[in-house]
Amino acid sequence: MTRPRSQIVSLADTPYYHCVSRCVRRAFLCGDDWYSGKNFDHRKPWLVARLMLLGEVFAIDIAAYAVMSNHYHVVLHVDQAQSRAWDQDEVIQRWLSLYKGDPLVHCYLRGELCSEADFRQLGRIVATWRERLASISWFMRCLNEYIARRANKEDDCTGRFWEGRFKSQALLDEAALLSCMVYVDLNPVRAGISETLDESDFTSIQARVRGAVSESSDSNKCPSRRLMPFRTGLEHDQEPASLPIGLRDYIELVDWTGRIVRADKKDFIPQEAPSALSNLNLNQAQWQMLALESQKESITIFNGLDKLAARERSRTKKTA
């Protein structure tokens, strides 16, 4: 039985979520479609560019992504503190960068509001927009609707582009988060599309690897600079939210895990696990099992039955 999105996304439990959207009938509408004989690879940069834009506008960070030929994965982090820190004008400017907005808001921007009732209504509108700018549902809606409209316009057709609503799963701890990110970043490798991380086009790991080796990355052009940052080891109150691992450790972890799941790469598995594993309190065998099982895309894979049971008990108490 499906559940309403409000029961799946609970920021009290975790700000991290893994979301997946598939093309209608799982057709390869973002790749080489064998049914129609057309190639739609040019749509993959659309998705990446739109993701980066929405990551700039929303109070939602992009931890990982992978754009495949008939679906895409994205791991998101909701930063409620950031959305609460925005003043009224910033909320308005962010929302208007995506939508036309309410006429009352445009009157406010022109300095034409006078009555108390108008200002109260303006406050209600801004409160709604602030909530939406920290909503995964609205983030995914802004992403999927844009791609669907653009693709339908290109094909001169109407109808669904995506197969229903997106799927989402909560990532309840650091091990769940990192194992899911690794799973997402390794999608092209596991699908046999690429052999190395640097060749894994339209993935966050490719962007991070190329960003790490580039000394002159421009923040406006390099996708890696617009992804959620990794921990640097420097603690500052004003620093943005960061992932619970260093960039070097994460790249090493993805590469090492990728060699495990490829049968022809077994000779290249390191004798010792990367340092990231000790930080997660997981040994090499535990991580290997988690990484191998994560291909099944089950919610229990990333979180474990004990954490899911505890979350379910907590939700039951709240709804009782």
Give tens-digit pLDDT for 261-314: 555 443 333 344 555 566 677 777 777 666 655 545 444 555 555 555 555 555
Q: Do 127 and 176 reside in the same domain of the chain?
A: no
Confidence of residue 221 (pLDDT cuts 50, 70, 90): low
Q: Distances in Å between the alpha carbon of 214 and those of 62, 211, 222?
A: 20, 5, 10
Of 137, 139, 128, 133, nearest in space to 104 by CA? 128
Q: Distances in Å between the alpha carbon of 33 and those of 6, 15, 36?
A: 35, 36, 6
CB-based burial of residue 238 (10 Å sphere; 0-12 exposed, 13-18 middle, 19+ buried)? exposed
Q: Do 214 and 102 reside in the same domain of the chain?
A: no
Half-sphere exposure of 277 (CA within 13 A, CB side): 18
Q: Do 98 and 148 reside in the same domain of the chain?
A: no
End-to-end CA distance of the chain: 19
Q: Do 191 and 97 reside in the same domain of the chain?
A: no
pTM value? Answer: 0.83
What is the number of structural domains in the chain?
Answer: 2
> Which of residues 280 and 20 earns the better pLDDT score?
20
Find the domain containing 99 and state its range.
87-132
Q: Do 71 and 183 reside in the same domain of the chain?
A: yes
> Does residue 263 lie within any of the structural domains?
yes
Q: Do 175 and 31 reside in the same domain of the chain?
A: yes
> Does residue 7 lie within any of the structural domains?
no
> Does residue 190 lie within any of the structural domains?
yes
Structure tokens at 120: 């109260």
> Does residue 167 lie within any of the structural domains?
yes
At residue 278, the pLDDT reads 66
243 backbone dihedrals φ, ψ, rounded to 5°? -75, 150
The residue with tokens 């954490």 is 307
At residue 271, the pLDDT reads 44
Query: CA 164, CA 144: separation in Å to the nearest integer?
Result: 11
> Does residue 235 lie within any of the structural domains?
no
Q: Do 20 and 71 reside in the same domain of the chain?
A: yes
Q: Do 116 and 245 reside in the same domain of the chain?
A: no
Radius of gyration of the chain (CA): 21
Query: CA 91, CA 128: separation in Å to the nearest integer?
Result: 10
Q: Do 124 and 253 reside in the same domain of the chain?
A: no
> Does residue 6 lie within any of the structural domains?
no
Q: Do 212 and 162 reside in the same domain of the chain?
A: yes
Q: Do 257 and 127 reside in the same domain of the chain?
A: no
pLDDT beyond 90 at 17: yes
- CATH number, position 224: 3.30.70.1290
Q: Is 73 helix (H, G, I), strand (E, B) or coil?
A: strand
At residue 195, the pLDDT reads 80
Of the listed ranges 38-52, 73-87, 150-164, 234-248, the one predicted with least confidence: 234-248
Q: Do 71 and 154 reside in the same domain of the chain?
A: yes
The residue with tokens 């029961």 is 7
